[in-house]
């Protein structure tokens, strides 16, 4: 008896797999907004990030309490309360930018991050944006505390509450905060170690502001970033537009460019 066997084509499974593969939707990359949201979550989900934000708000509360108990003669102006609350905030907020840029390297998560998102410059830009967004949110909380303190001072003391120039003061404060945080983030992008980057951020501009005038007289204003930020906060450049733009360019724009370039080429371990 003869058995007839039917030949099954061996190419069928391969053809089927090819059809299934082509039927799958193409993988889409992460949107920039999603990257920003991820970096924001990283900043607030760590103990150091939460402690830093809490410390900023506590420093602002302490300054406002001192301001209420030491009111000068005249009206209780919002500008005085905002200035008192912003002193410590301007000092601590840039650390948010530094930590946002150095966290991948100090916590050894760079390999995971850049494997999931290989376009490093895009990730670094998302870190810059997230640091600015977070600082604006924290600054908004400080502004709310300053507004409440102004109203409280007007209600419980014999000083009248004054909100003159509110819009201009807020614009100057927010712009200065954003520039300060970008400067901190730029230092963090150039120097991937958190402690070293924070020291460099605080020491280098301070050292120049002290030594520059003695060495270069009035020309030192071209590299005095503190003076430039102060003029921006006051919304009055005092006829020093070239000096202000040069200082911002050297201390903020240039480190940002160098930091993005260095981060895109830094070895991931």
pLDDT in tens, the chain (269 residues): 455 544 545 555 555 555 545 554 555 667 889 989 988 988 888 888 889 899 999 999 999 999 888 877 777 888 888 988 888 888 888 998 998 898 888 777 777 777 778 888 899 999 999 999 999 999 999 999 999 988 888 777 777 788 888 888 899 999 999 999 999 999 999 998 999 999 999 999 999 888 888 888 888 889 999 999 989 988 888 888 999 999 999 999 999 999 999 988 887 76
Q: Which two tokens stand for residue 233?
A: 């906060």
- DSSP secondary structure of 28-62: PPPPHHHHHHHHHHHHHSSHHHHHHHHHHHHHHHH
Kindly report the pTM of this predicted structure: 0.83
Residue 8: inside a domain: no
How far, in Å, CA of 184 to CA of 190, rounded?
10
Is 191 part of a structural domain of the chain? yes
224 domain residue, yes or no: yes
Residue 120's pLDDT is what?
85
Report the candidate in 243, 236, 123 with the shortest Cα–Cα distance to residue 185: 123
With contact defined as beta carbons under 8 Å apart, do 37 and 110 qualify?
no
Q: Cα(first)–Cα(last) distance of the chain, in Å? A: 70
Q: What is the pLDDT of residue 239?
A: 87
194 falls within a domain: yes
In sequence order, the β-bridge partners of residue 49 are: none
Within-domain flag for 202: yes
pLDDT of residue 91: 87
Choose among 101, 246, 87, 261: nearest CA to 176: 87
Count of domains observed in the chain:
1
Residue 76 belongs to some domain of the structure: yes
Q: Is residue 94 part of a domain?
A: yes
Tell me if 106 is assigned to some domain: yes
- The per-residue DSSP string of 95-137 comes to HHHHHHHHHHHHTT-HHHHHHHS--HHHHHHHHHHHHHHHHHH
What's the domain range around 118? 31-265
């Amino acid at each position: 008896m003869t058995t007839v066997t039917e030949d099954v084509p061996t190419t069928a499974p391969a053809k089927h797999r090819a059809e299934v593969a082509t039927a799958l939707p193409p993988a889409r990359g992460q949107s920039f907004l999603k990257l920003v949201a991820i970096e924001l979550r990283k900043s607030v989900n760590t103990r150091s990030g939460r402690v830093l934000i809490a410390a900023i708000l506590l420093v602002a509360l302490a300054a406002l309490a001192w301001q209420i108990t030491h009111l000068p003669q005249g009206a209780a102006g919002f500008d005085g309360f905002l200035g008192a609350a912003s002193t410590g905030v301007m000092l601590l907020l840039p650390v948010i930018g530094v930590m946002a840029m150095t966290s991948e390297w100090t916590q050894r998560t760079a390999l995971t991050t850049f494997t999931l998102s290989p376009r490093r410059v895009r990730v670094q830009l998302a870190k810059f944006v997230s640091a600015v967004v977070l600082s604006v949110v924290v600054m908004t909380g400080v502004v709310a505390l300053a507004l409440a303190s102004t109203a409280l001072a007007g209600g419980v003391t014999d000083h009248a509450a004054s909100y003159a120039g509110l819009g201009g003061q807020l614009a100057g404060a927010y712009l200065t905060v954003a520039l300060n945080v970008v400067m901190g983030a730029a230092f963090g992008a150039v120097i991937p170690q958190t402690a070293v980057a924070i020291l460099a951020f605080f020491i280098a501009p301070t050292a120049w502001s002290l030594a520059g005038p003695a060495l270069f007289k009035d020309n030192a204003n071209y590299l005095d970033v503190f003076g430039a930020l102060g003029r921006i906060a006051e919304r009055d450049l005092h006829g020093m537009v070239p000096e202000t733009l040069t200082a911002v360019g050297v201390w903020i724009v240039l480190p940002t460019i160098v930091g993005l370039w260095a981060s895109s080429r830094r070895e991931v371990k």
